[in-house]
Amino acid sequence: MTFKTTKTHAVHGGTLRYLTHDSTATGTPMTLSVYMPPGEGPFPVLIWLSGLTCTEDNFTTKAGAYSAAAEHGVIIVAPDTSPRGEGVADDPAYDLGQGAGFYVDATQEPWVPHFRMETYVTGELIALIDAEFPTTGTRSISGHSMGGHGALTLALRHPDLFRSVSAFAPIASPTRCAWGEKAFTAYLGDNRSLWAGHDAALLIESGAARGRFDEILIDQGDADSFLTDQLKPELLQAAADAVGQGLTIRMQPGYDHSYFFMASFMADHVAFHAARLKD
C-alpha cells in the first residue's frame, strides 16, 4: 500500500485512518484522513478541503461528518492544506505558505517546487484513493473558507471528476479580496488575467458550471466576521443569476466562521452529495 497508516479509530461502525504518503506532486510527505463507512463497498467518495491554518485533523475531529457518512455509505477523504516540512517555503503570516496552499499550482519562486495542490488533489490523491480503497470511481467535493474556494474552483476546472460540489463560507472571488490577492500574487504572479481561472465567481460567470452541476450548495453564517471583506457570497449569486446556474446560498442566522457552524449543517451536505453520487 502506498499509504502508511499512523492511527486508526472505530467511528460510527466504520473506520477512520490517518495516513501519510510520499507525494510526487508536491515532492514532500503528505498527510490525510480517510473514513470508511461500515460494509465492504464499493463506496463513492467525498473529498473535503479545509481552510487557512488547518491540517487534515481539524475536519476529522471537529466536523461531525462521520455519522452521516456511515448512514449514506460515503468515504470521506480529508487531505492537508499544503505541503510542509524542512526545505518547504513558508511565510510568517497565517494566510500564506504552509497551511495556506489555496489549492493552486504555484508558478512563482520560492513556491513553485512544492506548492502544487491542484495537481495533488485532482491528480495524485484521487488516483491513489481509487487504487487503494473500495470506491465506485465517483466522487464529490466540499470545503470551508479557503477550502470552499478550492472545492468550487477545482470542481469548475475539472467538472468530469466530480458529481457535485458544495461549500461552507467559501472565499467566493479571491481576485476581489485581500486573502486572495495576497496569495495569488505570491503563487501565480502579478498577471491578474491568470487569476481569473482560480476565481469561483468568475468561473461560474464564464459558464464553467453550465450543464455540469444541477445545483451548488453554499452555507454561510451571517455572523461570520469575514463575510463582508473576504468571503462576498453575493458575487457567487450574481454570477449564477447571470448565467442561470443552480445555486443555493443558505444564510444561517447567528452562525460564525467556526467548526461549530460547519458541524451544525454538515449532515445536510453529506446527504446533498450522497443523493448525486448514487444517480
- Predicted confidence at residue 209, as pLDDT, reads 82
279 pLDDT above the threshold of 80: no
Mean pLDDT, rounded, for 95-111: 98
Q: Nearest CA to 81 among 65, 64, 63, 95?
A: 95
- What is d(CA 246, CA 257) in angstroms, rounded to the nearest whole number? 24
* pLDDT tens digits for range 104-135: 999 999 999 999 999 999 999 999 999 999 99
Q: Which residues are within 8 A (CB) of 127 and not within 5 positions of it... i.e. 6 or more apart?
A: none
- Predicted confidence at residue 208, as pLDDT, reads 87
Calculate the dihedral angle through the C-alpha atoms of 272, 274, 275, 276, rounding to the nearest 10 degrees.
90
257 is known as an active-site residue: yes
- Predicted confidence at residue 191, as pLDDT, reads 93
- Find the catalytic residue in 72, 144, 149, 257: 257
* Coil/strand/helix, residue 35: strand
145 is known as an active-site residue: yes
- The count of structural domains within the chain is 1
- Find the catalytic residue in 164, 224, 269, 273: 224
48 pLDDT above the threshold of 80: yes
* pLDDT tens digits for range 128-155: 999 999 999 999 999 999 999 999 999 9
- Predicted confidence at residue 118, as pLDDT, reads 98
CATH number for position 41: 3.40.50.1820
Q: Nearest CA to 275 among 208, 217, 197?
A: 217
Percent of the chain's residues with pLDDT above 90: 97
Mean pLDDT, rounded, for 36-59: 97
Q: Which domain holds residue 120?
A: 4-277
Mean pLDDT, rounded, for 156-168: 97
Residue pointed to by grid coordinates 513556491: 111
- Predicted confidence at residue 180, as pLDDT, reads 98
Average pLDDT score, the chain: 97
Mean pLDDT, rounded, for 171-177: 98
- Find the catalytic residue in 23, 50, 140, 145: 145
pTM for this structure?
A: 0.97
Percent of the chain's residues with pLDDT above 70: 99
Radius of gyration of the chain (CA): 17
Predicted confidence band of residue 1 (pLDDT cuts 50, 70, 90)? low
CA 276 from chain centre, in angstroms, equals 18
